[in-house]
Structure 1
Amino acid sequence: MRITILSLFPEFFDSPLASGLMGKARAKGVLDVSCVNPRDFAQGKHKSVDDSPYGGGPGMVMQLDPLARAVRALPEPGRILMLSPKGRPMSQALARELAAESALTLVCGRYEGIDSRFEELFPVEPVSVGDFVLNGGEAGALCLLESVARLLPEYMGKEASGEEESFSSGLLEYPHYTRPEEFEGCRVPDVLLSGDHARIASWRREQSLAATLDARPELLAEADLSRADLSFLRALPRAKPGRNLHVALLHHPVMTGERKVGTTSLTNLDLHDISRVSRSYGVCSVFAATPLEDQRALAESLVAHWTTGPGAAANPDRAEALSLVRIVPDLETAVRELARETGRPPLVVATSARGAGTITVRGLRERLAGEAVLLLLGTGHGLAPEVLDTADFTLRPIRPFGDYNHLPVRAAAAVLLDRLLGDHG
């Protein structure tokens, strides 16, 4: 494979390209890597490669002309990849895809970036190595280069090495040990000293699964898992992700069909579906708040049927979900009960299909790690303005940029709980 790196600082790559397996691969001809400096194609006395941005602003922008000349001078550019935060995330799947190419060109930006017309003139594919800021594209190019090179035939020496590493199977790698058997009281696991290769393979698989569930659970959604894998994962002890989250379904004060503040009727379907979703995601409790005494009596009767009555024996799973439901007359009662149980008032977060919100899902997930949160869901046409105004935060709408945002409360609850508590990393 031929890889060309376009960089204003080609010396950045001198040591990495000469070290370890990379140096050996280049010496054997497995990989041909060359660096091209766009400054060598700049014109004028000072060989300038940057200039101030049109429209003003801080910093400088890489000029188009030297870079375009450099690309057009390449005998075999292949796929042109530009390291950029806006690009396709670098992954093992992308590395495999790129390893099948005969040639790649990696473009490293500097300063405030590259003149955007570069992407109009050439078939550029932006690639990102992470959501963080670097001085330039060189460090990202090294990550991409090494991840691709390792997949080339003869690069690793022992081909199995590359297939057993993290992400190759969609999972994180199992732990490794070597001599001595014991060091400062820490022993190598006995199974690795047993000589039983079947047991060792099974142990390594389980360790890989456990490590992935603990550190990168979102990877499991795409991993190739067997029934034995799933049984093992279900049996692992795990902290409940929703241990600090409580849900409140408010029937007053909410907006009615007449666009007035009023009260809505409690529904069997809402209680069933929201409690089942909440149990699936580990939510602590589901408050159903209505000021109407007959409605509270109806709800209590419904919950009792499924938790202590005939429904409990007929459908234990439904009973487990409905046991989360707590019937209260108003939001204030729910807040007082949680404050008494947790020792401090919960963070009250309202939901709405309107506005920009004052907290994002990521921000709320971070708050959930250390304090109790009461997430408010509105019936009818949503929570009344006085609820939105008195809540500590309003969660950003599910579809803030769409032209239609009118989900039923049960669907909204499912989406929000998945975003807050799902295995998305």
Structure 2
Amino acid sequence: MRFTILSLFPEFYDSPLSCALMGKAREQGIVDFNLVNPRDFALNKHKSVDDRPYGGGPGMVMALDPLARALKSIETPGRMLLLSPRGRRLTQSFARELSAEPNLTILCGRYEGIDERLLQLFPIELVSAGDFVLSGGEAASLCLIESVARLLPGFMGKEESGDEESFSHGLLEYPHYTRPETYEGLTVPDILLGGDHAKVRSWRREQSLLQTLARRPEILADAPLTPQDRTFLAEKPRTHLARNLHLALVHGPVLNKFGHTVTVSLTNLDLHDIARISRTYGLAGFFAVTPLEDQQALAATLLGHWTAGAGGKGNPDRAEALGMVRVTATLQDAIAQVRDSSGQDPLVLATSARPDGAVTPQGVRQSLGERPVLLVLGTGSGLAPEALALTHGQISPVRPFGGYNHLSVRAAAAILTDRILGDIF
């Protein structure tokens, strides 16, 4: 494979492309590199390749003409890639896709970026190496080059080496051990010392699953899992993130469609479905909040039927879910119960269909790693001001930029819970 690299600093690549496996692959003709400096194509006296941006602002922009001339000079550019935070994320599957190409051209930006018209003149694909900012594309290009090159036949020496590494099968890699068997009291797992290759393969697969579950659970949703894998994972404890999330469905005080503060009736369907959502995702609990004694009595009757009564005997799965429901008279009572059970003051977040929520699902997920979170769902036309006063913020709605935002509270609870936890567990 031939890589053509456009960079204002070709000397940056002298060492990285000449050492270790990359250097050997280059000597063997597995990879070849052509370094092109856009400065060589500048026509002005000072060979400058940047200029001030139209519209003002700090910094400089890479000029269009030298880059265009440099690209036109390449006889067989293949796919043209520009390192950019706006681009397609560099993943193992993307690297494998690119490894099938005979030629790749990689553009490395500098300064504040390149003239946008270059993307209209050439079929350039944007590629992102990660959600971070660098001074230029050179460092990111090395990640791209190595991830692609190591998939080429002969690069790794042993072809199976590339097949067993992280992400090759959609999972993180299992742990490795070597001599000595014991070091400062730490020992190698016995199963690796027994010589039973089938058991070793099974152990390594399970360890890959556990590593992925613990560190990158979101990628399990796209991993090619076998029925045995799913059974193994289903038996593992729920993540601590799920165990820190509580839901509360407030029936009063809420607003009606006229903006008046009221209390609305609870429904059998809301209790059932949100309880089943809570159980499915392994949440800490679900509170049904109503200040009306007759509604509290109704809830007790419904829950009793499905937990201790005939409904629970006929449907134990439903009983398990509804057993998570706690009925409280006020939102303050629900907050106090979370505090008592966890030993911490919870982060209380409101939900709303109105587009003024600033807390993202990812932000909630991060908070779950530090403290319990009580996600408060409103009925009627939304939470009343006195309920909102008890919260610390508001999560962004399910469709923040849509014109129609009128989901049922059950649907909203399911979608938000899934977005917060962000994985299949």
Normalised to the residue count of structure 1, the TM-score between the two structures is: 0.96
Q: How many residues align?
A: 425
Residue 188 (structure 1) aligned with residue 191 (structure 2): no
Shift of 1:236: 2.9
Alpha-carbon contact 1:99-1:149 (below 8 Å) kept: yes
**Residue 175 and residue 111 in structure 1: after superposition, are their counterparts in 2 closer, same or farther (change >3 A)?**
same
Alpha-carbon contact 2:238-2:282 (below 8 Å) kept: no
Residue 102 (structure 1) aligned with residue 102 (structure 2): yes
Give 1:368's aligned residue: 368
Alpha-carbon contact 1:342-1:372 (below 8 Å) kept: yes
**In the alignment, residue 129 of structure 2 is paired with which amino acid?**
V
Residue 174 (structure 1) aligned with residue 185 (structure 2): no
Give 2:205's aligned residue: 205
Give 2:38's aligned residue: 38
Residue 159 (structure 1) aligned with residue 169 (structure 2): no
Matched ranges for 1:121-136 at <5 A: 121-136=121-136
Distance 1:264 1:242 in 2: 29
Shift of 1:240: 3.6
Give 1:406's aligned residue: 406
Which 5+ residue runs of structure 1 have no aligned equivalent?
Answer: none
Residue 222 (structure 1) aligned with residue 222 (structure 2): yes
- Secondary structure of the 1:15 match is coil
Matched ranges for 1:18-167 at <5 A: 18-167=18-167
**Residue 82 and residue 197 in structure 1: after superposition, are their counterparts in 2 closer, same or farther (change >3 A)?**
same
1:207-262 Cα distance to aligned partner (Å, 9 max, x none): 11111111111221122222221222223345442222221101112222444332
Distance 2:222 2:336 in 1: 42
**In the alignment, residue 395 of structure 2 is paired with which amino acid?**
L
Give 1:260's aligned residue: 260
**In the alignment, residue 363 of structure 1 is paired with which amino acid?**
G
- Secondary structure of the 2:104 match is strand
**Residue 345 and residue 149 in structure 1: after superposition, are their counterparts in 2 closer, same or farther (change >3 A)?**
closer
- Secondary structure of the 2:48 match is coil
Distance 2:237 2:245 in 1: 19
1:37-68 Cα distance to aligned partner (Å, 9 max, x none): 11111121111111121111111111111111
Alpha-carbon contact 1:241-1:281 (below 8 Å) kept: no
- Between stretches 185-194 and 253-262, larger displacement belongs to 253-262
**In the alignment, residue 74 of structure 1 is paired with which amino acid?**
I
- Between stretches 100-109 and 234-243, larger displacement belongs to 234-243
- Between stretches 183-192 and 108-117, larger displacement belongs to 183-192
Alpha-carbon contact 1:281-1:422 (below 8 Å) kept: no
Distance 1:386 1:358 in 2: 19
Distance 1:234 1:293 in 2: 40
Give 1:418's aligned residue: 418
Shift of 1:102: 1.3
Alpha-carbon contact 1:254-1:378 (below 8 Å) kept: yes
Alpha-carbon contact 1:61-1:115 (below 8 Å) kept: yes
Shift of 1:193: 2.0
**In the alignment, residue 220 of structure 1 is paired with which amino acid?**
L
- Secondary structure of the 1:17 match is coil
Distance 2:132 2:34 in 1: 27
- Secondary structure of the 1:274 match is helix
Distance 2:166 2:338 in 1: 42
Alpha-carbon contact 1:287-1:325 (below 8 Å) kept: yes
Give 2:273's aligned residue: 273
1:256-302 Cα distance to aligned partner (Å, 9 max, x none): 24443322211000000001101111221211112222111111100
Give 1:307's aligned residue: 307
Q: Alpha carbon RMSD of aligned pairs, Å?
A: 1.7
**Residue 194 and residue 312 in structure 1: after superposition, are their counterparts in 2 closer, same or farther (change >3 A)?**
same
- Secondary structure of the 2:388 match is helix
